[in-house]
Amino acid sequence: MANDWRAVSLGELFKVKHGFAFKSEYFTDEPQATVLVTPGNFAIGGGFQDGKRKYYNGQLPEDYILKPGQVVVTMTDLSKESDTLGYAASIPNDSIIWLHNQRVGLLEFKNEIPTSPRFVEYLLRTHEYRSWIVGSATGTTVKHTAPGRIESFTTKIPPIEEQCAIARILGTIDDKIELNRHANEALEAMAGALFKAWFVDFEPVRAKLEGRWQRGQSLPGLPAHLYDLFPDRLVESEWGEIPEGWAMRSLDSIANYLNGLALQKFPPESEDEFLPVIKIAQLRAGNTTGADKASTQIKPEYVVVDGDVLFSWSGSLEVEVWSGGRGALNQHLFKVTSAEVPKWFYFFATRQHLSDFRAIAAGKATTMGHIQRKHLTEARVAVAPPESMEKFDEVIASQFDQLVGNAQQSRSLAQLRDTLLPKLISGELRVQDAERIHGA
């Protein structure tokens, strides 16, 4: 570390301000421009994630409206491993009015020591800081930290110019990851909209029936070259009207839902030879950070790779395309595959029934709601003839493949960032060397 690095306590750089106790009577599931920042907005490993939103439609206290770029920390953690406790995130620059909620601390920077907020955000991702916070946490089931504990952590920081350069290198990587995330949201939304229009609402058939779509004409979501693939009639079935010549099929007849293993029965060969265990927590996080370890000798069908469709059928019900690297499939997760329909089709078909599955799970009189295989049999989806499915695949598959490619690139970028971060923050790696590695 260079001689010009300065020993400080975090309290010399900033003060941690407590959030506001917004009244629960004004919480709503109806989308609003105003959203509370909660511990759920902090990703494992640090950074902001926009997950399930908690909207607020009450009066807004001016002092608790957050600004883009401000740095916040999570003061409470519900997980057993304290996955996010004390981690920092920057408020995104978007159209949302983010509110400074209780259990979240805002860093109010002081003027005495020149400090880059984004550098500090990365500083609060280091192992040394995390060990300090987790080691001093209070509570058993729910872990808490406090402003004083955060402010009392001591470290060394470089001059402001080097802080900004470090933040730029790491920030460039995170910005690219964020761009990929937005691109994937758009790709998934477009492909999902086509699936719903074609296989749920039967919009192309209805458009032909009503004369809104003519041969040779292209309309949004209705390319001209697909005109002849859609019937021009709806016929009655046991499950309501469906396009003529199509069939209503159960989910478990079009795809295989393989349940994972009780992987505690398959311990790793060694500390160096193992597969990370993919549980519901890993599925939600999208990576295997902090995962348990299992044997590499499990049957190949229980090995998960990038691009696999995973469905957690117990507890927190989610359907996702996995992009967190090679791992082992734990129980309570299905790996979904099919030799009959394309991947995008069984992914969106399963997603289409997710709200129903969640309602079933919520109605279980147990601590962990779940669905059963009979529910996969009862869930139906309209399937076109094979020759039509092949043509539909040509339209949607490329979007779906790009989604997986973007996610893989983001994982590689995250690995690079996580390699550079501790070395840059500690001074082991200097900025000019990191720029050569990163190509900045």
pLDDT of the residue at 322:
95
Q: In whole angstroms, what is the distance from residue 122 CA to residue 45 CA?
A: 10
In angstroms, the first-to-last Cα distance of the chain is 22
pLDDT of the residue at 267:
95
| CATH, range 252-383 | 3.90.220.20
8 Å CB contact between 158 and 427:
yes
Q: In whole angstroms, what is the distance from residue 49 CA to residue 35 CA?
A: 13
Residue type, 440: A
Identical fold for domains 6-157 and 252-383, yes or no, is yes
Distant-in-sequence contacts of 22-30, Cβ < 8 A, 24+ apart: 22/56, 22/58, 22/99, 22/101, 22/102, 23/58, 25/58, 26/56, 26/57, 26/58, 27/54, 27/55, 27/56, 28/55, 28/56, 28/57, 29/55, 30/55, 30/57
For residue 222, count other CB atoms closer than 10 A to its CB. 19
Instruction: Report residue 29 as tokens.
Output: 């599931």
Contacts of 164 (CB under 8 A, 6+ apart): 116, 119
Q: What values do phi and psi take at 155, rounded to 5?
A: -160, -175
pLDDT of the residue at 440:
47
Q: How many CA atoms lie within 13 A of 431 on its CB side?
A: 15
pLDDT of the residue at 367:
57
Q: In whole angstroms, what is the distance from residue 295 CA to residue 430 CA?
A: 39
Q: What is the CA radius of gyration of the chain?
A: 25
Find the length of the chain.
440
pLDDT of the residue at 365:
55
Q: Where are the domains positioned within the chain? A: 6-157, 164-229+385-440, 252-383
**Among 215, 217, 241, residue whose Cα is nearest residue 228:** 215
Q: What is the pTM of this model?
A: 0.84
Q: In whole angstroms, what is the distance from residue 52 CA to residue 29 CA?
A: 10
Angle in degrees, 0-180, between the axes of helices 343-352 and 354-362, rounded to the nearest 10: 40
Q: What values do phi and psi take at 65, rounded to 5?
A: -95, 120
Given 3.55.30.10, 3.30.565.10, 3.40.50.10150, 3.90.220.20, which CATH number is that of 6-157? 3.90.220.20
Per-residue pLDDT of the chain (440 residues; tens, 9 = 90+): 567 899 999 999 999 999 999 999 999 989 999 999 999 899 888 899 887 889 999 999 999 999 999 999 999 987 767 788 999 999 999 899 999 999 999 999 999 999 999 999 999 999 999 999 999 999 888 899 999 999 999 999 999 999 999 999 999 999 999 999 999 999 999 999 999 999 999 999 999 999 999 999 999 999 999 999 999 999 999 999 999 999 999 999 999 999 999 999 999 999 989 999 999 989 988 889 889 999 999 999 999 999 999 999 988 899 999 999 999 999 999 999 999 999 999 999 999 999 999 999 888 655 568 899 999 999 999 999 999 999 999 999 999 999 989 999 999 999 999 999 999 999 998 888 777 766 54
Q: How many CA atoms lie within 13 A of 203 on its CB side?
A: 11
